[in-house]
A = this chain, B = another copy of it.
Amino acid sequence: MKIGFIGLGRMGAGMAARLREAGHELIVYNRSPERMQPLLELGASGAANVAAVCEAEVVFTMLANDAALDEVVFGAHGILAHLKPGGIHVSCSTVSVALAAKLAQAHGEKQQGYVAAPVFGRQDAASAGKLFMVVAGRAELITKIQPLLDVLGQRSFVVATEPEKANLVKLSGNFLIGAVIESLGEAMSLVEKGGVDRHQYLDLLTSSIFNVPLYKNYGAMIADRQFEPAGFAAHLGQKDMRLVLAAADELKVPLPFASILRDRFLGLMAHGGENLDWSAVGGLAAKDAGLVS
């Protein structure tokens, strides 16, 4: 199957490489063309623009935010105008529920397939095909792309027929991770100010009731107070909290923890932290407590 891939950032590059390594004919596009080079070396062909990618039967997109995806789909040379009827757009970006719904409708009107497949996992999981795929779309479309999803992820979860619901699930998941970061930050500040070593404390937690990589990895960054280099940048975390709250706004769901996370991210941005790892939010409780300046 001929596959297109648009967006070769930290995550997209690894995913596209997986697809190529699995033997698929691949055509790629990235706004900064130098990021296409490693894929070309793997045997992919490079496209001059988005339109050229749309000769593929299935086009993946993995972009940083709503604006980028909107442009790639609705722009003059965009997917909507150039994908063939029957072609499938698989959108892996973490974008707003509203944009996902808008895309679903637009593609539908053009008889183009649209599947939302945002992912959980960082760069290493993307490169290793160990992502968790949150999938929503019409059953026959998902059936068709399932072999591709299996190349990218260790498991796919189909959550609904309406694509935007996958985005809601993905955003809610990032909220849950944010809540882990904040709660660890608060707990560590409390025990540290009470005289307990924070690394030893984290070891206790993650050797007992929180024995899971998420707590270990983010906990270590918070305990080490080392938020660089960023695996997932704080400004992206802030965007996601904004999108979670926008969805909650639309659905009328009060979310007190999410509101606190929102303020934490804004505070971090206000102090120049946008390019730190988003776990830097877990360092703010220590600042509030006067443990660090």
Contact = CB atoms under 8 A, between A and B. Distances in A.
Contact of A189 (B184, B203, B253, B264): B253
B134 A204 contact: yes
A interface: dominant SS: helix
A251 B184 CA distance: 17
A9 interface: no
B254 A196 contact: no
Contacts of A258: 186
29 contacts: A157-B200, A159-B197, A160-B195, A165-B195, A168-B191, A168-B194, A172-B190, A172-B201, A175-B183, A175-B186, A177-B209, A179-B183, A182-B256, A186-B258, A190-B248, A190-B251, A193-B253, A194-B247, A209-B212, A245-B245, A252-B266, A252-B267, A253-B266, A253-B289, A254-B263, A259-B259, A260-B260, A267-B289, A272-B290
Interface string A226-256: 0000000000000000101101110111111
Interface of A: 97, 120, 132, 134, 155, 157, 159-160, 162, 165, 168-169, 172-173, 175-177, 179-180, 182-184, 186-187, 189-191, 193-197, 200-201, 203-205, 207-214, 242, 244-245, 247-249, 251-260, 262-264, 266-267, 269-272, 285, 288-290
Given A209-B177, A249-B242, A254 B214 contact: no
Contact of A252 (B169, B179, B270, B285): B270
Contacts of A264: 254
A34 B284 CA distance: 45
